[in-house]
Structure 1
């Protein structure tokens, strides 16, 4: 089907496909780049928030001495928990502390956090990042372990060393005691919904596609215009000229050629070819004219006919011989004027196909003119090729004048 379309139409279809492919590639590439950037931004945000809590906890541990024993609000763990709640308040992020051996029920780990905390205890990893699905929602989960230092043992060491208000709330044997320095005591857990981030990806992608699509469109349009001007238009002009030449036989149409590229050389070749054809056409016409003048001056009747007998050329002597006008003779069957014309037809067919090559035929036949008068004549018949088919020329001489 594409072969039936014009070169310009096929070029436009190709440019449309290129434009669609570039836009699709750009959209896919942009989506994954945006996705990676958004995810990395979420990880960096989680890391920064967790770092704030850890630094706050470390700072309180370093500046406070006996204050936490009298004021539980100054316990670094308690203070950092409340700060985390304050930071995440009013946002869609979740920032909190969690532990397998928790005291505050709000710090109880969910199943995912519990699994990661166990891994922290086993392999001493420094952080964990993963996008998971919870109740059909994608969440970026970020956890960083908290390691017990000496200040933590004030409340989480032995039962006997803990403040009174801790001992009252958590009796001896509670699992929140007996931590060692360097042991994972819990983790900072950050959860960020990805749906809101994907909305950002969609907006960024839309803006990028509009911008890049406009640029690609302009490039494709410019490329199409250049292709059309320097390739399609010259080729279309050459094609139209060749078609006109084939229909009219006017071999005098030349096309302008600019430059030395392939299209220009093709046009130059066409001009040379058409010039040669024009010269040969003129020579052929002159040759035909000389041939016609020659046979017109001949005293013998001369008739040129095709293999099927159709007469195509006659001279004045032939008009007199058959007592017919030239316009009436042309198109008639030459063999119809001969007695037993079919025999001559068969002789010509057989002689022309035999080896060696056919050199001519001379026979004596009886002919009838339009009035029915019969005459004996000698036929000297020669043959030539015209468009791959034999053309016969008969020189007719009367042998009597009855």
Structure 2
């Protein structure tokens, strides 16, 4: 019976993924920040270009369609090009697949606390040991720009038809009520340690 318990415990341990936070090596921080910034900007430029093209072609209705259908495709394409896993996340997400995990939530809280103290750091870095392999997570903060308010501002001021479409696509939408300059969330870039 004792042997069976040990075998069961080993099986459980091997079957569970283990993630632990570890120290970010100071000598690698600048390189991590450089790689993370380049990758996050590539994603943001791709998304912005696609949104602007959609708005020119079909207005706000087309822009919402891009966010709903193409944003994840663009993210996947940039991941393939860079070799890094990427995600946009926030506490006030529209798409449930963008909800933060516990480490992303820690990064979001870091930026929120910094803003309360009158600072806006340009990035945040974590090092995680994921099943024996170290990865660095680079977080780039995002602020709400004026154009974002069309779909993410005060619902009372938004176009009613547009608001209805958003509610249809995202029944549990949390991504409204922003003002220009508000902290929106982060782009997270995950970089394997062996790439730094």
What does residue 138 of structure 1 align with? 134
Per the TM alignment, residue 174 of structure 1 is displaced from its structure 2 partner at its CA by 4.5
State yes or no: 1:148 paired with 2:144: yes
Q: Secondary structure at the match of 2:180?
A: coil
What does residue 169 of structure 2 align with? 169
- Answer whether contact 1:100 1:109 (CA < 8 A) is retained: yes
What does residue 43 of structure 1 align with? 33
Which protein is bigger by CA-based radius of gyration? 1
Q: Secondary structure at the match of 2:40?
A: helix
Q: Secondary structure at the match of 2:184?
A: strand
Write out per-residue CA displacement over residues 99-133 of structure 1, whole angstroms, 9 at most, x where no aligned residue.
11112122111111111112212312221123232
State yes or no: 1:193 paired with 2:192: yes
Which residues in structure 2 correspond to 1:381-396 (within 5 Å)? none
What does residue 97 of structure 1 align with? 88
Write out per-residue CA displacement over residues 55-107 of structure 1, whole angstroms, 9 at most, x where no aligned residue.
334445666358352223334x8645432221113875211211111121221
Write out per-residue CA displacement over residues 332-373 of structure 1, whole angstroms, 9 at most, x where no aligned residue.
xxxxxxxxxxxxxxxxxxxxxxxxxxxxxxxxxxxxxxxxxx
Looking at structure 1, the residues matched to 87 and 185 of structure 2 have their Cα atoms a distance apart, in angstroms, of 11
Alpha carbons of structure 1 residues 41 and 122: separation in structure 2 relative to 1, 3 Å: closer
Root-mean-square deviation over aligned CA pairs:
3.1
Q: Secondary structure at the match of 2:108?
A: helix
Per the TM alignment, residue 178 of structure 1 is displaced from its structure 2 partner at its CA by 0.6
Looking at structure 1, the residues matched to 69 and 31 of structure 2 have their Cα atoms a distance apart, in angstroms, of 29
- Answer whether contact 1:95 1:189 (CA < 8 A) is retained: yes
Q: Secondary structure at the match of 1:113?
A: helix
Per the TM alignment, residue 153 of structure 1 is displaced from its structure 2 partner at its CA by 1.3
- Answer whether contact 2:87 2:189 (CA < 8 A) is retained: yes
Q: Secondary structure at the match of 1:132?
A: strand
What does residue 73 of structure 1 align with? 65
What does residue 88 of structure 1 align with? 79
Name stretches of at least 5 consecutive residues in structure 2 with no aligned partner: 1-25, 115-119
- Answer whether contact 1:140 1:191 (CA < 8 A) is retained: yes
Looking at structure 2, the residues matched to 66 and 119 of structure 1 have their Cα atoms a distance apart, in angstroms, of 39
- Answer whether contact 2:137 2:191 (CA < 8 A) is retained: yes
Name stretches of at least 5 consecutive residues in structure 1 with no aligned partner: 1-34, 199-402
- Answer whether contact 1:53 1:80 (CA < 8 A) is retained: no
Alpha carbons of structure 1 residues 48 and 125: separation in structure 2 relative to 1, 3 Å: same
Which residues in structure 2 correspond to 1:1-400 (within 5 Å)? 36=27, 40-59=30-49, 64=55, 67-71=58-62, 72-75=64-67, 79-89=70-80, 93-123=84-114, 124-160=120-156, 161=158, 163=162, 164-170=164-170, 174-194=173-193, 196-197=194-195
Looking at structure 2, the residues matched to 149 and 90 of structure 1 have their Cα atoms a distance apart, in angstroms, of 27
Looking at structure 2, the residues matched to 61 and 137 of structure 1 have their Cα atoms a distance apart, in angstroms, of 36
What does residue 12 of structure 2 align with? none
TM-score by length of 1: 0.35
Q: Secondary structure at the match of 2:174?
A: coil
Alpha carbons of structure 1 residues 59 and 82: separation in structure 2 relative to 1, 3 Å: same
Write out per-residue CA displacement over residues 197-231 of structure 1, whole angstroms, 9 at most, x where no aligned residue.
48xxxxxxxxxxxxxxxxxxxxxxxxxxxxxxxxx
Per the TM alignment, residue 136 of structure 1 is displaced from its structure 2 partner at its CA by 3.6
